[in-house]
Amino acid sequence: MTTGTGTRHTRRDELAAFLRSRRERIRPEEVGLPPGLRRRTPGLRREEVAQLAGVGVTWYTWLEQGRPINASVQVLDAIARTLRLDAAEREHLYRLADLPEIADPGGGRDALDAEVHVILRHLDPLPASVYNGRYDLLAWNTSYGALFGGLIGQPPRDRNVLWRVFTLPDCCCPFVNKDEELPQMVATLRAAFGRHVGEPAWTGFVTRLSAVSPEFARMWATHDVARPGTRMKLFKHSSVGLIRVTSTSMALPAPPETRVVVYTPMDDESRQRLEWLRAHPETARCPLHAETVPG
């Protein structure tokens, strides 16, 4: 059995168990059915789920048995509504059914709790942001926007740090220590990728970036892995020059694989330069300075 076949088989088993567990937690009276006196199992029967979702009984039975059948988005939506799945459960259902692109709308830009945005605001004047495991930028505060105006000025689907840094001309790379930073970022992506093997959203991203950046493709081929953490970063900004910061990464409980990254200036000069950028946000947003990108 190949690894890919084994992964699909495991997902089908997990899907079958998940559907059974969600079906068994719903009382018949909750969906307008009589409770009945001869129920041998808790919750709804398979045929009842199929009837309520408007799908064939045999087809739903095969799905819950983990058989290799394809499920459309419309059918999964109907099943999700019937089983009263919340957002996290619905996403889990799509992933197990090999529809990760639907589970990951907008390329992984999950909705953040309002409290996270409050935290970002209170971290000012320290630049702070939220990334997901693929380095998509999900949120940021005022100081971060002033420092990395070229990134936040992109359309939402293009606010990906790795894509920006690997597609900029060599002269415009924001890292002073590029040879250290870029491999570290790719290794962090590779570690996250291990949790998404076979998912089109992730595989497609790596394939597209490898096609436009031989440098990324070379680093990706090393299979190096790393974890996010606390690191020293040296940025060069075309308006203020060198900025030395400590980058601290802290995991969020939700959405999955998101983290807050905070940049703390390492010296007074860097602090003053960050304050100047914060006071002149139009400078960071100017096309001339759009090359500044975070890590």
Decide: helix, strand or coil at residue 52: helix
Angstrom distance (rounded) from CA 102 to CA 60? 20
- Are 135 and 160 contacting, i.e. CB atoms less than 8 angstroms apart? yes
The tens digit of pLDDT for each residue in 133-143 reads 999 999 999 99
pTM: 0.63
- Are 119 and 260 contacting, i.e. CB atoms less than 8 angstroms apart? yes
- Are 91 and 103 contacting, i.e. CB atoms less than 8 angstroms apart? yes
Nearest to 134 by CA among 256, 276, 1: 256
The tens digit of pLDDT for each residue in 191-240 reads 988 887 777 788 889 999 999 999 999 999 999 988 888 889 998 887 88
Left (φ > 0), alpha (ψ -120 to 50) or beta: where does 107 sit?
left
The tens digit of pLDDT for each residue in 5-17 reads 555 667 788 888 8
Q: What angle do CA 113, 119, 121 make, to 5 degrees?
A: 115
* Per-chain mean pLDDT for the chain: 82
| Percentage above 90 pLDDT, the chain | 31
